[in-house]
Structure 1
Amino acid sequence: MQSILIIVFSLIQVLCQDKLLIVQAIWRHGARNPYYCNYECNLNVAKGDSAQLTPTGMRQQYVLGKWLRQRYIIDTPFLTPTFNENQIYIESSDFNRTLQSANCNLQGMYPEGPNVIHFVDQNLSLLLPPNKGAFTPPGIGDNALPNKIQLIPIHTKQKEIDYALAMSCPNGPDIVAQNLQTNLYKEVNEASAKLYKDFNEQLKLTGDNQVNDFINLSNYRDTLICNRYNGDKMPEDLKTETLQQIDDIANLAFSLEKFQTPEQVKLYSTPYFKQVIDRFDTFLNGTSNIKYYGSSSHDSTILATLSGLNLTSAQCQADVYLQKNLTQENCITKYVEFAYNIIFELYNNSITGPYVKVLYNGEYMPLCSSGDQTCKYSTLRSKLMAQQVDYQRECGIVQDNEILVYEETPVWVLTFFIIFLLLLVAGLGIIIIIKKKLAELE
C-alpha cells in the first residue's frame, strides 16, 4: 500500500510540475560617463564621450549576461547553449550606451560563436573577400571570428518613436514643470534645505552655482556617481554622510520629477507593459516561438516599470523620507543604478494554468496580493491592461500620415507618381485647348 501511495504522489508531482515558458528581461545600461558639466567637467569634455558606456559599464553588462546564462542555460536548460535566432530577440533604445550594453550582455550570455565550414586547402579562398591582399589572420583556426566571438542581432528604432524603451514623450517637459509646483515636491524640497546647505559648503559652491533644489542636486549626483563607478576624481571635502544622504534621496527625486502621480505612472508604463502583454499573449496563442526577450534601456524605464507594478511610488518614498506613516506596503527607495534589471518569467502549471513571477536584481518581488511572489497571468494581465492609457494622445504625439507614407515610400515610386500627375495635368490642359479651338471653328 505504501509503495502505491509513493507512486501516486510521484505521478502527481510529475504532472503538476511548473514549466518555464517565456522570459522578458529589461535592464538599465552599464556605467557611463557624466551628462552634466558641473564638477571637473573639463576632464569629461576633453574625453569627448559624454554619457557614453565606460569599461566599467561593459564589465557590468558582461557579468549580467553571464548570470543570465547560468540561470537560463546552465542551471535550467531553458535556452540552447549557443545562439538560436528562433529562441531569442534582443532590442535596445537608440543610444550608444544601451546598444553597447546589449552587445556586452550578449557576450556574457553566449560567449562561444560558431565555426566555419572546414574547407580543404584549395577552397580556402571561399573564406576571403575579393579584395587583393586579403588573408586569413593566423591562429583563428575554424572559428568564424577571433576568440570565437558570437555576434547577435540587436534591434532598435528611432528615439522619436521609441515609446517603450526610450519613453519618447513630447509633453514630458510640461509634466516635469507641473511636478515642480506641487505641494509634495515643495514639502520634500524644504525638508532637504540642510542637505543643500551642507553640499554647497563642502563643494564650495557660491552664487548661481549653489544647489537649492532636487534637479540641481540630481545633476551633481549624476556626475559624482559616474566618477565613483569609473574611478574618476571625487570632491575632497565632500563628506561620506552627505554623499550617502544624496544617494538615499536620489530615487525620490527622480520619482517626484517624472512619476509623481498615479496618472503619470500609468502614462509612462503603458508602452512597455503593452509590449510585455503582447509578447506573452503571442507565445501562449502559438503565433510566436520566441522564448527570451532582452531589452536594453534606461533608469527611467526601469523606475516606471517598478512604479507600474506598485513596488514603489513618489508618495511612499516621500513618506519614508519625511518619516510619516507608510501607506504603501511595497516601497523600493534605492535608486535604479547602472545594470539594475527586471525579469518577467511566465510559467505554466498543468493544474492552475499560466502564472507570472518578477525578479528585480535577481530577487523575486511580491505581486498581486500581499507578499505573494506569484500571480496568475490572467490577473496580472487584467491589472496591467486596466492601467493603460492612450500614450500618443497623452504625450501630444501627432501622427502625420502623409509624412509617414512619404518616409516609407521608395523614391522611384514618388518620382513616377509626380511625373504621372504632371502628364495628367498637361493632358487635361491640351484637351481644354483643343475643345476651345473646336468651339471657335463652330
Structure 2
Amino acid sequence: MRNLLTKAGLFGSVSVAFGSIWWSQQKTESNPVTSSAAPNPNDACPASLYELQQVQVLFRHGARTPLKSIPDVMEAQWTPSLLEAPPYTHINYVVTDLKGGPQPRSPLEDNYRKNILSGGSFAGQLTTLGMQQLYELGETLRKKYIEETPFLSPTFSSTEVYVRSTNIVRTIESAKCLIAGLFKQKQKDIVSILTAEAKSEILYPNYHGCKLLKVLSDPRWAKMSSLPGVAEDLQSILSALGIAAHQHVDFILIRDDMVAREAHGLPSPLVLNFWRNKVEQRAVDMMCSLFEPNKREALQLSVGALFHVLLENIEKKLQDNSAEANRKLFLYSAHDTTLIPCLMALEIFDMKWPPYAASITLELHKSRQTGDAFVKVSYIGQDQHIPGCSGVYCPLQEFKQVLSQYSLSSERYNSRCISTELAEP
C-alpha cells in the first residue's frame, strides 16, 4: 500500500477525510438529526424525574481553511485576516500533555504548516467563523447547564471541568473558544487543555499508532474508487471541473474544499452547484465503506479506546468519591472523523457529514425515585434513542451493553494494535 504521507493521491484523500485529523491525518451545515429508532412511551417521562450527574461532550472543531485545494480550478483566497481571533474568545489557558507536562510535538500540525494556501494562510487552520461557532456552542451549553439547570458554576473551575483536545491547533483553539462562551471568559483557574502524543492519540482513528487498524483500512482505501457508481461519478465531475487526469482527487477532497468555501462566502466553480449533493453523498459513501459496522474490528479499533474512557468516566462518578470523579463536565475537542465512527457504532449515523461544531453529548442521570443510573445521548442538540436501549433515558446496564461490543481497555487496545493477526475477513 502506498505510504499515506508521501503518495500524493492517497495523501489528498486521507488528509482531507481525516481532515479532521489524518496524517496531514459552511455556511455551517445544520441539518436536524433524528433517530431511526421508534419512540418509546417511557420517554414521555419528564426530565424532572432524573437528576443530572455528569456531562461529556465530544465535539468537532469549527470552520477552518481547507486541508488541500481542488487543483486546476479557481483558487479561493485564504488570507490571514480570516483567522483573527475575536477578543471575546480570549481566556487564560495552557496546553499540556496528559500528565500536565509540556505539550507534545505535533507531527500533524507540522505537516499542515508545510502547505500554504492561496492567500497566505496555512491549511487546516481554525478561522474567525470557526471560533465564533465554538463560542456559540459554549453559549448553548451555558444556557442548558448553567442558566436553565444550575448544574455548573458560572465561573470556570478545573475541579468541575476537564478539557482534552487532539494535539492540533484548530481543535485546541476550538476548545478555548467553547470555554470562553460557556463561562463568558470568567475563570477561577487557568484552563489546562490536555493533549496526547500522536502515537497514543485515541480521539481519532489512529492509523499511525495502531498497526492493525492501518492493515485493515489500507485495502478499503484502495478499493474505494471501485465502489458502485463512485468511479463513474468521479470521472464525470473531474471532467466537468476541467481537472487534469494526472491529478489525484476524490470526493472527500472536493467536499472539504467546497464546504470550506461555502462557509466563508468564498467563490467556487459554478459547476459545483450542480454536483453539490452528489459530492456530499459520495464522500459519505466513502467513509461508510471505511467504517462498515459489519466489519467490526476496524470500527472497534477506531472508537474502542475512546468509548472505554467515556464509560470509565461514568463508572468513576458512580463509584468513586475522589476529586477527579467529582468532575461534572468532560470536554473532548476532536474531528468529523471522530464523530462519524462513533455515530456508526451507536447506530445513529444519519448518513450526513457532521457539520463544523457538531457534538455528541452523553448525560449521566440518576432516577430521583430509584437511584438507578441512566445515560441520555444527543447529537447536535437532538436526543437520540440508541438501538439496544429501552428509552431515550437508557438504563446504564443497557448502555454499557451497547458500547461493550466496541469498547476496549487501553491494555486490550494496545495489544490488538500491535497484532498482525486479523480477526475479520
**TM-score, normalising length from structure 1?**
0.67
Rounded to whole Å, the distance in 2 between the matches of 1:114 and 1:263 is 42
The equivalent of 1:412 in structure 2 is none
The equivalent of 2:29 in structure 1 is none
Give the superposition deviation at 1:17: 2.9
Rounded to whole Å, the distance in 2 between the matches of 1:266 and 1:101 is 27
SS at match of 1:337: coil
Aligned partner letter, 1:291: K
Structure having the higher Rg: 1
1:248 partnered with 2:266: no
The equivalent of 2:219 in structure 1 is 178
User: Residues 352-394 of structure 1, C-alpha deviation per residue, up to 9 Å, x if partnerless?
Assistant: 6001110000001112447831211122113323433432233
The equivalent of 2:355 in structure 1 is 337
**Is the contact made by 1:113 and 1:151 (CA closer than 8 Å) also made in structure 2?**
no
Aligned partner letter, 2:381: G
The equivalent of 1:417 in structure 2 is none
**Is the contact made by 2:213 and 2:301 (CA closer than 8 Å) also made in structure 1?**
no
**Is the contact made by 1:169 and 1:397 (CA closer than 8 Å) also made in structure 2?**
no
Residue among 254, 259, 263 paired with 1:229? 263
**Is the contact made by 2:388 and 2:402 (CA closer than 8 Å) also made in structure 1?**
no
Give the superposition deviation at 1:249: 2.9
Rounded to whole Å, the distance in 1 between the matches of 2:214 and 2:296 is 17
Judge which range, 54-63 or 166-175, deviates more: 166-175
Rounded to whole Å, the distance in 1 between the matches of 2:419 and 2:371 is 41
Residue among 194, 199, 219 paired with 1:160? 199
1:293 partnered with 2:330: yes
> CA RMSD for the aligned pairs?
2.7
**Is the contact made by 2:306 and 2:407 (CA closer than 8 Å) also made in structure 1?**
no
Judge which range, 377-386 or 287-296, deviates more: 377-386
The equivalent of 2:94 in structure 1 is none
Give the superposition deviation at 1:232: 2.3
1:354-433 to structure 2, matched below 5 A, reads: 354-369=373-388, 372-389=391-408, 390-396=412-418
Residue among 272, 277, 285 paired with 2:306? 272
**Is the contact made by 1:259 and 1:304 (CA closer than 8 Å) also made in structure 2?**
no
The equivalent of 1:99 in structure 2 is 172
Give the superposition deviation at 1:250: 2.2
1:220 partnered with 2:239: no
Give the superposition deviation at 1:306: 0.8
Aligned partner letter, 2:64: R
* Larger fraction in helix: 1
SS at match of 1:235: coil
SS at match of 2:316: helix
The equivalent of 2:339 in structure 1 is 302
Rounded to whole Å, the distance in 1 between the matches of 2:225 and 2:283 is 16
Please list every run of 5 or more consecutive structure 2 residues that lacks an aligned counterpart in the other structure: 1-44, 78-116, 421-425
Judge which range, 291-300 or 364-373, deviates more: 364-373
**Is the contact made by 2:203 and 2:334 (CA closer than 8 Å) also made in structure 1?**
no
The equivalent of 2:59 in structure 1 is 27
User: Residues 65-104 of structure 1, C-alpha deviation per residue, up to 9 Å, x if partnerless?
Assistant: 1001001110110111111221111111100000000001
**Is the contact made by 2:76 and 2:267 (CA closer than 8 Å) also made in structure 1?**
no
| Structure 1 residues 101 and 49: alpha-carbon distance in aligned structure 2, compared to 1, 3 A threshold | same
| Structure 1 residues 367 and 234: alpha-carbon distance in aligned structure 2, compared to 1, 3 A threshold | same
Give the superposition deviation at 1:304: 1.6
Aligned partner letter, 2:203: A
**Is the contact made by 2:161 and 2:329 (CA closer than 8 Å) also made in structure 1?**
yes
1:42-53 to structure 2, matched below 5 A, reads: 43=77, 44-53=117-126
**Is the contact made by 1:175 and 1:258 (CA closer than 8 Å) also made in structure 2?**
no
Residue among 185, 192, 196 paired with 2:234? 196
The equivalent of 2:210 in structure 1 is 169
- Aligned residue pairs total 324
Rounded to whole Å, the distance in 2 between the matches of 1:364 and 1:222 is 28
**Is the contact made by 2:65 and 2:126 (CA closer than 8 Å) also made in structure 1?**
yes
Rounded to whole Å, the distance in 2 between the matches of 1:38 and 1:63 is 30
**TM-score, normalising length from structure 2?**
0.70
SS at match of 1:387: coil
The equivalent of 1:207 in structure 2 is 245
